[in-house]
Amino acid sequence: MNPQAGLAFGQAPPYSLPLRFFLTAPLFLLAAAGLIVWAPEALASRWTPQALALTHALTLGFLAMVMLGALLQMLPVVAGSSIPAPRWVAWFSHAPLTLGTIALMTGFLTAAPAAFGIGIALLGGGITVFLAMASISLARAAAGVTVTGVRLAMACLGVTLLLGLTLALLRAGWWKLPAAETTIAIAAHAAFGLLGWVLLLVIGVAYQVVPMFQITPPYPPRLARWLAGALFALLLLHATSPLFFPAAALIADAGLAGGILAFAVATLRLQAQRRRKLPDVTLDYWRLGMASLIACVAVWLAARLWPAWATSDAYPLLLGVMFIGGFAVSVVNGMLYKIVPFLAWFHLQAQLQARVGSIPTMKEMLAERWTRWQFRLHLAACALLVGATLWQQLAIAAGGVLALSALLLWLNLLSVARRFSRHGGRFS
């Protein structure tokens, strides 16, 4: 099977549109690292203002920033259906996402209602614009496992947004809910954001990019056909069980853990069967991400066996660090190292109609030595962050190493854009 079969590269948007998202994201990762150094208590409890600001810097500023940029590029290519007015969509989603995330972080750190209000308006507006336009593209798209995964992920993003805006109103003191309902809303917001939007999108995209970029066999058809839908159904049961089916919570959680484990193990097996055995830092990032998912399942299982561990402050922090940092940030970082050079090469080839050898290859677009060093820094940062959830004395060191990793990631991506420009590439 040719992993590029059916891809509509002719419908790809200008390079500048996704690139602005990709170059902004590492700066939020750098901001998250700086926050840890400035306020190590961000890793002491998930309920501190610093921890909430940190979480949203990572999930909105880094993960969502890259994911929206990638979808802007991938939907026309993978789905064969262009996003309407892609230039306007890029402007009216990138700027609000950037400024809205900054405002929301400020609101958490200062408790200023005005900051929450600005964040609500910008994030609500920007993400809604993207959701609306992407939904039009997805409605026109032919069915397929990647399209199905993306559709379900976008639905989860919509739910995450609604719950997030509600919680921001509560945080600002403009609305009140009973404590029990607020707790349920917080749990559902985190579940739909991480297990829905992030995980389902990674799964849907993996069906395309893992065989294509890592030269592996395709995912098993049965797994690809059913996994995303099953996880979405289990997520709905997980979110609604506290209200309607309390006894079903454990069933839903066990099913989610089993589905996550199945995806991680299947991905690692495919990577072990890859036809090209040369070293690849992207592969290392994906392997780290899959290992982190497996570790998340192990930590969750430990909490079921030892209730005292489940009620500790360290448990949710450790789970969050391994899922967000170990899995999501790792996989997204690895995808950036494939997508950004590929798009640079593709647009150079399309614009210049160049002969072989007259423009850099994908591999030449990005210096492997520096990507390898950045991976080492990221791996060290992940290890220190895990350690800091148990021994807070490691927090400053973790933040410092994460800052170096984020800075080097940004410089590496910037070097691709510079090389693209030097060889005559046009960004728009």
pLDDT band at 363; cut points 50, 70, 90: confident
Q: What is the mean pLDDT of the chain?
A: 91
Mean pLDDT, range 143-150, rounded to an integer: 90
Return the pLDDT at 10: 55
Structure tokens at 152: 């379900």
DSSP symbol at 62: I
Which has more pLDDT, 362 or 220? 220
Residue 67 scores a pLDDT above 90: yes
Do residues 304 and 325 lie in contact, with contact meaning Cβ atoms separated by under 8 Å? no
What is the identity of the amino acid at 422?
R
Nearest residue to 70 via CA among 199, 193, 209: 209
Whether the per-residue pLDDT at 361 is higher than 90: the answer is no
143-160: average pLDDT: 94
**Total-model pTM:** 0.94
356 has a pLDDT exceeding 60: no
| 3-class DSSP state of 369 | helix
CB-facing half-sphere around the CA of 80: CA atoms within 13 A: 9
φ, ψ for residue 359, nearest 5 deg: -130, 155
What is the CB neighbour count within 10 angstroms for residue 278? 8
Give CA torsion, residues 412, 417, 418, 423, to 10 deg: 130
Mean pLDDT over residues 78-102, rounded?
90
The predicted structure's pLDDT at residue 21: 97
| Rounded Cα–Cα distance for residues 42 and 54 (Å) | 7
Question: 346 burial class (0-12, 13-18, 19+ CB within 10 angstroms)?
Answer: middle
The torsion of the CA quartet 131, 133, 135, 141, rounded to 10 degrees, works out to -140
Q: How far apart are CA 147 and CA 4, in angstroms?
A: 15
The larger pLDDT score, comparing residue 279 to residue 232, is at 232
Q: 46 by DSSP, 3-state: which?
A: coil
Q: What pLDDT sits at residue 243?
A: 80
How confident is the model over 244-252, as a mean pLDDT? Answer: 85
What share of the chain in percent tops pLDDT 90? 70
How many angstroms separate the CA atoms of 314 and 300, rounded? Answer: 12
Q: Which of 170-179, 272-281, 414-423 has the highest mean pLDDT?
A: 414-423
By mean pLDDT, which of 3-7, 103-107, 205-209, 374-378 is the weakest? 3-7
> Are the CB atoms for 122 and 100 separated by under 8 Å?
yes
Q: Say whether pLDDT at 43 is over 60.
A: yes
186-198 b/e (C-beta count within 10 Å ≥ 16 → b): bebbbbbbbbbbb
Burial of 415 (0-12, 13-18, 19+ CB in 10 A): middle
Q: For residue 156, which of 67, 272, 61 has the smallest C-alpha distance?
A: 67
Helix H or strand E encompassing 303 = helix 281-305
pLDDT in tens, 293-347: 999 999 999 999 998 898 888 999 999 999 999 999 999 999 999 999 988 888 8
Q: What is the pLDDT of residues 380-403, one digit of tens each?
A: 999 999 999 999 999 999 999 999
Q: Which residue did the predictor score with more confidence, 7 or 375?
A: 375
**What mean pLDDT comes out for the span 243-265?**
91
DSSP letter string over 12-71?
PPPTHHHHHHHHHHHHHHHHHHHHHHH-GGGGT-TTSHHHHHHHHIIIIIIIIHHHHHHH
| Phi-psi region at 80: left, alpha or beta (left = phi > 0; alpha = psi -120 to 50) | left
- pLDDT for 354: 58
Arithmetic mean of pLDDT, 103-123: 95
Q: Residue 222, Cβ neighbours under 10 Å: how many?
A: 8
Any alpha helices (H) in 39-144, and if so which ranges? 49-56, 65-74, 86-110, 113-140
* pLDDT at residue 6 tops 60: no
